[in-house]
Amino acid sequence: MLNIRTNLILIISLLIYLQAKPHAIINSTNICYPINQNFIVNKYHSNTTFSGIDSNKYYRQILDINKAGMLVLSSWAVSNILSGFYYSNSTTLSVLKYFWKGNIYWNFVNLGIAGMGIYHSLVNYNLPITINQLYRKQQNIEKIYLFNAGLDVAYFFAGLYLNEKANNVTNTAQLSGYGTAMMLQAAFLVSFDLAMYLMHHKHAKKKLYHF
């Protein structure tokens, strides 16, 4: 029963993670959106240039940043999956076996997200976009990465909880191994999401928010 409960915790966490980690998927919209006190994009502003900004070129730069990030995420995922398979089959310690298995589970999800992100960047690379849509997308992607970083912190504490819970149960190795894997993946992901947010924000501050 404990094994089933532990596996359910991990599966539920992975499902929540999968649904709440829309890396590089930026919503399209024409809704008016306030940017700052000096400039408001409205629904009638459908041009592709404003204040020297080429919206199509800028959007391709957004996609390039996302694609680079997804390549980093996919590299992390592949290295964790390969090392996980190797070490989970070679170690004799139960806690390490569950640790490496936990890394495998999380990074199959990461690999899927990275693949979708790269695909999205490629298929949308030459799509035209208006200034209004561009501002909305820029704001959305920054919010997404900040929200994801907050979720990553929650995952870290969930892993910490599993580690603490392991001290009071008979199947210590499983809880401790999965908990440590969750903490490791959350630590990487919060760093990744914050780095992506900072890159996008710096890019926007330099080229989009400067006027």
Nearest C-alpha neighbor of 202 from the set 142, 144, 116, 124:
142
Task: Give residue 209's pLDDT.
Answer: 74
The residue ranking higher by pLDDT, 74 or 35, is 74
Query: Under a CB-based contact definition with an 8 Å cutoff, are residues 44 and 139 in contact?
Result: no
Q: Which of 20, 23, 45, 22 is nearest to 34 (CA)?
A: 45
pLDDT at position 167 is: 84
Distances (CA, A) of 3 to 94, 175, 176: 13, 9, 13
DSSP 76-121: HHHHHHHHHHHHHHH---HHHHHHHHHHHHHHHHHHHHHHHHHHHH
Amino acid at 23: H
Predicted confidence (pLDDT) per residue in 180-210, tens digit? 999 999 999 999 999 999 999 999 988 787 5
Which DSSP string corresponds to 17-79? HHHH--TT--------EEEETTEEE-TT---SEETTEEHHHHHHHHHHHHHHHHHHHHHHHHH
The backbone region for 128, taken as left when phi is positive above 0, alpha when psi lies in -120 to 50, beta otherwise, is beta
Residue % of the chain over a pLDDT of 70: 74
Please, what's the b/e burial string for 45-69 (b: 16 or more CB within 10 A of its CB; e: otherwise)? eeebebeebebbebbbebbebbbeb
User: What would the pLDDT profile of 21-61 be if each residue is shown by its tens digit?
Assistant: 554 444 433 333 333 433 334 433 445 545 567 889 999 99
pLDDT of residue 81: 98
pTM attached to this predicted model: 0.77
Strands annotated E in 99-185: none
Could you give the CA distance from residue 206 to residue 48 in angstroms, rounded to a whole number? 18
Amino acid at 15: L
Q: Mean pLDDT over all residues of the chain?
A: 82
